[in-house]
Copies of this chain bind each other. A is one copy, B any other.
Amino acid sequence: MGKVDDKKKQKRESLLGAAFALFTSQGINDTSISDIVKKANMAKGTFYLYFKDKFDIRDKLIAAKARQLFFHALQKMKENGLTESESATLEDAIIFIADSVINALDEDKRLLGFISKNLSWGVFHSLLVTSDEDNGYSFYEGYQTMLRESGRQFRNPELMLYMIVELINSTCHNVILNQEPVTLAELKPELYNVIRDIIHRFEE
């Protein structure tokens, strides 16, 4: 039984870890495969046993990190019992999740730089629909359940989500990294108001 497989998983994790550290500290373009394997204490050839090239490992990393981010946000929401509360609206839930994610990114600016620059809708969407191999949870199902349980009707739920995600992603990036044109504290209330507006607009 899997002593070998264990080792392989460990190597893979090592490479992912090293790549993440380097990507976030010096940028993807300035990180070479050489850098990654040196940091991971492996031979150069080993990299190619696990990943096709730099972009392959980048994509795997983004997916993993973004998934983690959402997973933590959902867990937090469950812990806070928001889902059971009578008065909590759909808006509250979505904003709670957004706030969790934003706070996490604010605390880890490197992660923000990495994810935000590379998170296209394509990646995000495939992340949504693919269920995690470890826990089998699909975010898109969760989203749909939330909408259903709210008892309300929405026109184009996917577009609604797209606009919310893109708005958050694009406005927070510069605000968190450069406090420009406002601070995060100033942005948040306005952002959440607009999110409420968006949801309202899509309700039938």
**Could you tell me which A residues sit within 8 Å of B by CB distance?**
29, 120-122, 125, 156, 158-159, 162-163, 166-167, 169-171, 174, 178, 180-182, 186-187, 190-191, 193-194, 197-198, 201-202
Contacts and interface: CB of A to CB of B under 8 A. Distances in A.
A151 to B, nearest CB: 23
A194 B199 CA distance: 10
A163 B180 contact: no
B174 A121 contact: yes
A193 B186 contact: no
Q: How many copies does the complex hold?
A: 4
8 contacts: A120-B174, A156-B190, A159-B186, A159-B190, A163-B171, A166-B170, A169-B170, A170-B170
Nearest to A162: B181
A171 B181 CA distance: 20
A194 B190 contact: no
Interface centre among A29, A181, A187 (most CB of B within 10 A): A181
Nearest to A169: B170
Contact of A187 (B159, B197, B201): B159
Contacts of A193: 201
A158 B183 CA distance: 12
B194 A198 contact: yes
Shortest 8 CB-CB contacts between residues of A and residues of B = A170-B170, A197-B197, A166-B170, A121-B174, A158-B181, A166-B171, A167-B167, A159-B182
B191 A201 contact: no
B121 A180 contact: yes
Nearest to A163: B171
